[in-house]
Amino acid sequence: MYTLKGKVAIVTGGARDIGRQVSLKLAAAGAKVCVNYFENEEAGKETLAAIKAANGEAILVQGDVSKSADVKKIVEECTKAFGNTIHIVVNVAGGLFGRKPLADLDEEFWDRVIDVNLKSVYLTSRAVVPHMTEGGAIVNFSSQAARDGGGGGALAYATSKGGVLTMTRGLSKELGPKGIRVNCVSPGMINTTFHNTFTKQEIRTNVAAATPLRREGEAGEVGDLVLYLVSDAASFINGESVEINGGTYFS
């Protein structure tokens, strides 16, 4: 439906779950994709293989996007492979790491969550924007938690995702005059490893039952939304947070 032929994209956290679906869909639309992963090399290789099996172009780049040196390396490897212009950045990388109430929320844990969810978006955007031209698009990942405060023990996570939402709006104003659009998506309950790890099945069942569509979302559905937002079909959408939660929350 959308064409990204001739465009180069970086997807942070692009190896699995939502990141994998974003990587696959951008590549299927014709983009040359730099798939970033941090620890799960096996998942990264599986994503790369799936792209190539569908005749797509991609490279796999390891790096911790909460570290400026790693972000610099990711950008350098991408431009070395596909040229100096980067048209699309999708900041998927993030994590919860655990559920901790305020009384147990130590400084080290707080910093880790903020760094991987919020600082990473700042570092990646800062490094990539000099390589972007008019028509470029950045999509960040916020969360429904940014709107409703998140579930139990998710204070640091919800705060970091609220920061992503605000950064998106600020960047959209700063970069809009250069013809670069910045938006974010805010998923609700999506069937991913994230919820397999951190959300009890009982809670997932109850949330799905209370959702107007009576189910969880799928990673591919989020990928489809990202594909639309980076395409020319969304050329006048800027500074928006698009909720994708089946109707459980309205912004």
Report, as residue numbers or ranges, the catalytic residues.
157
Residue 167 contacts residue 122 (beta carbons within 8 Å): yes
**Cα–Cα distance list, 163 to 114, 125, 142, 169 (Å):** 9, 14, 8, 10
Q: Residue 5 — φ and ψ, nearest 5°?
A: -60, 130
The answer to whether residues 28 and 54 touch, using CB atoms and an 8 Å cutoff, is yes
DSSP classification of residue 117: I
Rounded to 5 degrees, what angle do the CA atoms 49, 54, 59 make? 45
Nearest-angstrom CA–CA distance, 163 and 5? 32
Residues 6+ away with beta carbon under 8 Å from 99: 151, 152, 153, 154, 198
